[in-house]
Amino acid sequence: MTIEAKPRHSVGKAMKRKEDPRFLQGKGNYVDDLKFPGMLYLSLVRSPYPHAAIKNIDISEALKVQGVTAVITGKDLEAAGLGWLPTFHGFDKQMVLAIGKVLFQYQEVAAVFAESRAAAEDGAEAVQVDYEPLPVVADPFLSKTDQVLLRPDRDSKTNHIFHWEVGNKDGTEQALGSSAKKIKQRIWFQRCHPAPLEPCGCVAFFDTMGRLQFHVTSQAPHVYRTALALVTGIAEDKIHVVSPDLGGGFGNKVPVYPGYVCAIVGALKIGRPVKWIETRTENLTSTGFARDYHMDVEIGATPDGRVTALHVATTADHGAFDAAADPSKYPAGIFGIVTGSYDFPVAHAEVDAYFTNKAPGGIAYRCSFRVTEASYAIERGMDILADELGMDAVELRQKNFIRKDQFPYPSALGFTYDSGDYHNTLGVALEKIGYKALLKEQAERRAKGELMGIGFSTFTEVVGAGPSKHFDILGIKMFDSAEIRIHPTGAGIVRTGAKSQGQGHETTWAQIVAEELGLDPQTIMVEEGDTDTAPYGLGTYASRSTPVAGAAITMAARRIREKAKKIAAHLLEVGEGDVEWVDYKFQVKGVPAKTVTMKEVAFAAYTNMSTNEPGLEATYYYDPPNMTYPCGAYVAVVDIDRETGEVKVRRFLAVDDCGVVINPMIVEGQIHGGLTEGFAMAYMQEIQYDAEGNHLNTNFTDYLVPTSAETPRWETANTVTPSPHHPMGAKGVGESPNVGSPAAFVNAVIDALSPLGVRHLDMPVNRDKVWRAIRDAEAGKTGAAVFA
């Protein structure tokens, strides 16, 4: 972040800010480091009220602040036809700047442009807004009553946003009704935030050719370009979106935020570059949150533990606008994966979403659109069922796993799982963790009154959206693309429609090209995020890069190999049919001594050695025939201090199966990172609002991010069940540990507390909650106090 050394503002607040390390948190970020001549800084005025009518906005004092150039309000944007943004899955629209009223605390109310960031912030403080508080609805169950209508701007006069359901309602009801055993539990996946270390930001300007140059922290730059063209009316060729190196995204950088629109409007109206960089507080309070699903989970079973039916009814808190970044046909994302790894004969899932006076969002935080919620629901549900049946949670899982010979497996909720060997993956986990010995130790400790828990999560998830006939964003099909150019000397460049945010595409994409073409991966450059050069793609989220863009790279490389084969035949002076690809070289069939390398072919392709069409490049747009279904068996072993409630993770083992692994080190890194996030959600994190709608965690002292001091040591292993339809047999992996681990952490805590009669606690299962559960149990209040 660049702050002017000499604040021009006399009060000296600017200097104080400069010295305050909280204001330096963006430093070192790529967008934040961008500087352009004459650049202005944008600061947003935000509402202190969660729900209030705006009586008046007085910008006169702000305009007097030295360095302030302009102030715009919602009314200005409305007059320009830019008052509202379409939300990604098209069911709603979102105010750019408040029009008439505010709907959540920290909502954007006015935009102040100034010569320095400090001046912009001083200007924002000087904007006077008269609010008239309105009744607040901070609870989706209260919202359901429609006593206070939050969105009178909508045609439907209710707070209910949508009802979505899938599966066999009547069949499930009947099966549950006739099941000998049944559990029912409300399970809340609390509101969380992806909180990437680099917050969101952008720089917008119109160049001398009148083109919008938009540098932005985006996980989906091409979708931004199209969305901007549709919303602003600027021709798409006059928009250049550049998403540079990102300091994490995790779904937080998929939506288009009001700050971006204001920066573009400012650049257009004032005619100068405008930079907007969020503070940590702005990131936590107003950009896409995750989860906030209240899930009523019912599972039926036979007395010997075979599952008979699953019903999940969810109340979803979507905040003030329905800004969830979900595919249009799936308002609840891919929640239908909620049957998990288990062979349910019948199931029914439904989701009802409601507006509340909270920040909008519902983004796919390191997951495929609500897969994490689904995975948590079923993995907690199976443990509760095991408890009900008095059965070992592992045995229950093994008994109900979809068997290897059932793949491709059609699930009761309409998915076709591509492949998996769940018994094997869990088997590896049991052996590595030494389950039998742990059970023995646990029994001994329990006899002494000690609280030791072993928690499992044997999840299946679904990654790699498309297929495009089912999945789209704003109507744009969910395919992805790759373009490969091999230069005359055998070096090359690969560009894709994906966008790395630290997942290492730069390494793995080069590996794929090298593997397919027999070239040195060190000489393959990878470029993503520039809409002028990269082929159109839907971006990176939901672990879709390897299943979709990775497949596109493979297919483009194979196209190159096809052309290269013709050139090789010419060089080897044989017919094309006599050439084969053996051991990373072209070889005359049956004559191992007569070979030509891809490097030699590349040179020939650009010189007069070949008579073929010059050049060696290919593009491929890949529309996956199905998604991929990675799975995992995770085990957490915890010890709980009975006096303090402190949970110590003694061991955590993650056995993942993401099909063929391209780069084991990157995959391991992905798993370490995701487990750390899962650990944080399970034990520490919750975006909290009080009943008046005040946002209680506005920085990292309230919203906790684990450091190396708290983070357990991770043990990892893997099994390989290739995807039958992916050209490399690979499945995605980035989100697996975030999706699969929360249940293992929580199951371990509940297992530890189960001798006290505790059956469920909602996340975050922090020390206070565990301490309270233990004390209540000791006082004989277990059921009432700790059941959700």
The residues binding ligand CDP (CB under 6 A) are 503-505, 508, 540, 543-546, 550, 658-663, 666-667, 670, 730-734
77-80, long-range: CB within 8 Å, 24+ apart, which pairs?
77/261, 77/265, 80/265
Per-residue CA distances from 233 to 225, 253, 727 (Å)? 11, 23, 39
| Whole-number CA gyration radius for the chain | 28
Q: In what order do the strands lie in the sheet with 181-192?
A: 160-167, 347-354, 307-317, 290-301, 181-192
The helix/strand/coil state of 727 is: coil
Closest CA to 318 of 363, 368, 356: 356
Question: What percent helix, strand, coil does the chain show, rounded to 5?
Answer: 35, 25, 40
Give the chain's largest Cα–Cα span. Answer: 89
Q: Toward ligand CDP, which CB reaches closer, 433 or 555?
A: 555
Q: Toward ligand CDP, which CB reaches closer, 667 or 749?
A: 667
Q: Toward ligand CDP, which CB reaches closer, 457 or 503?
A: 503
Looking at the chain, how many residues does it have? 788
CB of 334 to ligand CDP, least distance (A): 15
d(CA 186, CA 298): 9
Contacts of 237 (CB under 8 A, 6+ apart): none
Contacts of 562 (CB under 8 A, 6+ apart): none
Q: How far apart are the first and last CA of the chain?
A: 44
CB 285 within 8 A of CB 105: yes
Q: Toward ligand CDP, which CB reaches closer, 507 or 597?
A: 507
- The backbone torsions φ and ψ at residue 521, rounded to the nearest 5 degrees and listed phi first, read -60, -25
Closest CA to 149 of 357, 361, 423: 357
Q: Toward ligand CDP, which CB reaches closer, 25 or 540?
A: 540
CB of 513 to ligand CDP, least distance (A): 12
Contacts of 574 (CB under 8 A, 6+ apart): 588
**Strand partners for 290:** 192
Alpha helices in 494-610 (DSSP H): 505-517, 551-572, 598-606
CB of 335 to ligand CDP, least distance (A): 20
CB of 522 to ligand CDP, least distance (A): 17
Q: Is 52 exposed, middle or buried (0-12, 13-18, 19+ CB in 10 A)?
A: buried
3-state secondary structure 439-470: HHHHHHHHHCCCEEEEEEEEEECCECCCCCCC
Identify each DSSP E strand in 181-289 by its residue range.
181-192, 201-206, 212-216, 239-242, 274-277
Our measurement of the distance from residue 105's CA atom to the centroid of its chain's CA atoms, rounded to an integer in Å, reads 24
Q: Toward ligand CDP, which CB reaches closer, 197 or 660?
A: 660
CB of 169 to ligand CDP, least distance (A): 34
Q: Are strands 617-622 and 714-718 parallel, antiparallel or unpaired?
A: unpaired
d(CA 318, CA 104): 12
CB 217 within 8 A of CB 47: no
CB of 670 to ligand CDP, least distance (A): 5
Closest CA to 256 of 239, 273, 238, 271: 239
CB of 364 to ligand CDP, least distance (A): 11
CB of 470 to ligand CDP, least distance (A): 18
d(CA 144, CA 74): 29
Tokens describing residue 720: 């390989």
CB of 743 to ligand CDP, least distance (A): 20
Q: Toward ligand CDP, which CB reaches closer, 85 or 220?
A: 220
Residues involved in catalysis: 219, 366-367, 735
Q: Toward ligand CDP, which CB reaches closer, 106 or 422?
A: 422
Q: Toward ligand CDP, which CB reaches closer, 223 or 310?
A: 223
Q: Toward ligand CDP, which CB reaches closer, 419 or 670?
A: 670
CB of 666 to ligand CDP, least distance (A): 5
CB of 729 to ligand CDP, least distance (A): 8
Q: How many CB atoms lie under 10 A from the CB of residue 521? A: 15
Closest CA to 415 of 344, 350, 477: 344
Q: Toward ligand CDP, which CB reaches closer, 7 or 734?
A: 734
